[in-house]
Structure 1
């Protein structure tokens, strides 16, 4: 451990020992901070402008690699410009929204750059969504058009009649290298690769009118309850990430960032790509993460940096050791969720020197970055925040005699809140009512306002924090936030289920919490073998894979508090252990078609980590 003591608390001496290694980064960090903070909401800013600047710095250098495809900064820029000009011809204007549903590949990146340049907001729809959830996500942001990859077309076709947008504005990319072969569009879709071929390759003049206050992305999050929520991600916020995370990475023209994270999430699309654009470096992407191919891909693309989430690191650690583990030039990694129990082991096994762990949320206004490269911390935050005392049982802050919140002491854990200021605003959700519930007023004095992150963190000193857990009605599994209400609604639609309560439970040696549903059955109903298969089939169809409950608990009645809140704390404690309850407990094992009862053998295998959830 690199901290001063076993408690991971950080003091001035610890930071002083790290300063020499920061010296070579300082010029880049200073430039980044100017980019991030010396701007106003009305100043031209954002992804489109930053990418143009990267093109000028490195016009002939490689910008993007995917499979066997490779594009220089100039080539990718001209491609994006053609998409931008075509959309302008169709009437798109600044502030409009276009839903983008494409898996990790070059067409996604070109589309995002294009829309950013003309001030059109890219609604980055989760490509694993289907059915009612997909319908909700698209209609929520009122798009003027949809751009879909062939790999996601079937899901869009299934809900097309439920979408509230012009049927003539469904655009399509073939699932192939469309710069070489545009393909043949299916009925009802316009082949975007084909129609842009005669469009201008020059930079659209609208680029200069895109400012910090303009929207860049809608990124979907489960928030705290209900169906996915669309978070407004402004260009000013992108510039903040670009100026901080992007420049701290200190990448050069020949550096290659390998990203397998889903690019509809901010960690991949914003954080990882920011570092690449800041250095005019190379982004190498893979459609989906693969443990088997990860390090061979790193070798293939000669990657020097990788993007990560906690689950990815665990999967790589679970894989058998190999001579390829260190046969690469990767020394840096950026992301979030690295577990303390594998942090040092991961660095040692794979030869990593710098873990730029960070903390941020799509909707939040507070961020941390591990710029001093300490272990087991989300790092340092330059923005105003507080960690307040919190009663988990009562689910509320602990107030002093005057009714104000109280900060935790060094070494203690509490609720993280971010102060809302002109420099750290809360951009919020598309739904104003949901914004209200995310803000606390009169926290330390009358008139102040703070964003409630819903996360418990530990104050480890010198404005550094350590992530501990999530509160509320979401939990994190497989690198995704799972909305309990969304899953409860789907589960309750099964014909034999009367009511469902969803919560996360910890499985030994895994990251986050796996979904567990406590269900009550309709009068006289019983679950037979056919139900166990049908439930799994139904949940898999209606929910993203990460949201499908791993465990079921069949109860006669669901216990509630005096205010009709479910007793989730008790359910979480009893989890999936048969000796803690007489209720029937079921599990959906990896690769299984249906749920089965948990017996002593299955429980033993879970505890010995014989299943790979």
Structure 2
């Protein structure tokens, strides 16, 4: 997501802000209501998803809460379903502070379960449904759940690791891969059929909803860990309320609105940002299991959607699709998400008739957020939270400090590291691992004793508390809307018998979002790659890595260059990337739709640069 294409016109002035005020006026009552809920909260106020959802039920009981395939649930129906799940878990002795792992693809059962657990103060660990093997075992055991809720669609992956999970036999709960409200299905031998079990439980709101406080855990969301295994980030009810009060109300949806979401609900953009906008307006969520370019505008029409949730990749796929009469045959005027690239921002609005792009910036673990409330182009928006953009030395990979040891803010128009001030009102909730917490906190930034959260992101300060996202630093990069951990991929590549060492980094492909994975690999003595290896490697990588983490490019090295402190020379590798004219070494690429690597010839390189392949 490189944003070097800034022009002076992106700098935001007082006049530009003043010109936007008339558009904002109609939203002010809604915004103030949201901000009141977001900021008049303490860690011990009753707060969160359960309370907000019950309020939406009161406001719009018969309005549609959820559309999925051919299923339709009103707020009343979805609430009663969630209550039955909640009462069932209360009967098992589940209580505040417990964790239940949930591994279900985007469908109605997932949302009913999430509302249910929120109401009883149990933290839902939202397991990435594309995980398998060691990574999946780690993710589940890490949060010490009292139960695991499995959708039939991912049961095979769970069966493979069942014996490695620290869970009692009777705590594997199951939803059939169908509309279980209509037909509960029959569970496999060693699973308990949740749809059947909850049937006898009451439909009224559990009394626990009002006892859930801001400081209580709502979700665990998994992000890529630098050790190579996922980290679980705690998302509290208080943070959810902040998102609900800000992003949720900025969007200003109402009971006639339908938001279409194809993003995975185990990520914060889907489950927090998109859904809280729907709940805030008692609007309708139209959910799709997995994103599809060809089905996108057909679904928008089918569900009569007026808003969509996005990440940058999704926008690019839609722009790449051939024009069709469906492009404008809809009532979508608003979208919310992150990662919209400046070079397609305006084209996207023109082609699809969208008027408002609520681009935002937030991380699952961070304490600083931006949202585009003034509807400017090419910006992650405005931030009310205390933050700074500080000068950063890319070579040394650290902030620049003056002779007194303090950091410097960059000037308007310049790029620097985004850091969020840690205060009582903008706390840092952190990771499950206290060691990891220490490493992301910067001390004595501008004065003695202050502390800031290091986002690890470079942004451009464009004035008036607005920023533009520029790049990610560190040991993770984004590809296909997912965070890829370089260490995890390095570890897994060495499972291939001929590879002894791997250095993984992200490289930019023109006209794509994020960075594609590239690995500089060293083979064991005397080993050479033959034709058979080209497809055998892909098969091995597929077994131990999700599709988005499989390296697109390989660079076969004799030895791995390291610096004096034995750090890999990633900067040089990134700079040379996959250009055959910059290195004598063998370069391989896994082209879209292929099942084997092939050589990067100068012709293939030129075609990649000319965007002939759709990565």
Q: TM-score range by the shorter chain?
A: over 0.9
Alignment counterpart, residue 470 of structure 1, candidates 469, 472, 486: 472
* Partner Cα separation in structure 1 for residue 79 and residue 537 of structure 2: 47
Matched, 1:316 2:318: yes
User: 1:206 maps to what in 2?
Assistant: 208
Alpha-carbon distance in 2 for matches of 1:19, 1:334: 20
CA distance in 2, matches of 1:134, 1:532: 27
Which of residues 225, 228, 235 is equivalent to 1:226?
A: 228
Q: How far 1:162 sits from its partner (Å)?
A: 1.1
CA distance in 2, matches of 1:110, 1:535: 41
| Partner in structure 1 of residue 171 of structure 2 | 169
TM-score w.r.t. structure 2 length?
0.98
Q: Separation in 2 of the partners of 1:554 and 1:194?
A: 55
Aligned to 2:56: 54
Deviations 1:460-498 (A, max 9, x none): 000000000000011110111110001011001211111
Q: Which residue of 1 aligns with 2:585?
A: 583
Q: How does 1:228-377 map to 2 (within 5 A)?
A: 228-377=230-379
Give the C-alpha shift of residue 5 in structure 1: 6.7
Deviation sequence 1:180-216 (CA, Å, 0-9, x none): 1111111211110111010111111111110000000
Match of 1:29 among 28, 31, 40: 31
Q: 1:600 offset after TM fit, Å?
A: 2.5
Q: 1:333 to 1:424 in 2, by over 3 A?
A: same
Distance (Å, rounded) in 1 between the aligned partners of 2:9 and 2:503:
36
Checking the alignment, whether the CA contact within 8 Å between 2:226 and 2:488 is kept in structure 1 is: no
Aligned mate of 2:145, from 100, 119, 143: 143
In 1, distance between residues paired with 2:574 and 2:537?
A: 22
Per-residue CA deviation, residues 404-459 of structure 1 (Å, 9 max, x unaligned), is 01100101000000000111110010000011101011111111110000000000
Asked whether the equivalents of residues 96 and 122 of structure 2 are also in contact (C-alpha less than 8 Å), the reply is yes
- Gap runs ≥5 in structure 1: none
Q: Does 1:573 align with 2:575?
A: yes
Gaps of 5+ in 2: none
Distance 1:176 1:153 in 2: 14
Q: Deviations over 1:204-250 (max 9, x none)?
A: 11111100000000000115452110000000000000000000000
Distance in 1 (CA, whole Å) between partners of 2:288 and 2:410 is: 42
1:562 aligns with 2:564: yes
Query: Counterpart in 1 of 2:97?
Result: 95
TM-score (structure 1 length as normaliser) = 0.99
Of 516, 521, 524, 2:523 maps to 521
2:490 match: 488
Indicate if the aligned counterparts of 1:4 and 1:10 stay in contact, CA closer than 8 A.
no
1:328 counterpart SS class: coil
Q: Which runs of 4+ in 1 moved over 4 A?
A: none
- Measured in 1, the distance between the counterparts of 2:10 and 2:593 equals 39
2-structure distance, mates of 1:310, 1:174: 33
C-alpha distance in structure 2 between counterparts of 1:420 and 1:546, whole Å: 33
Structure 1 position 81, deviation (Å): 0.4
Indicate whether 1:403 and 2:398 are aligned.
no
Counterpart Cα distance in 2 of 1:593 and 1:356: 38
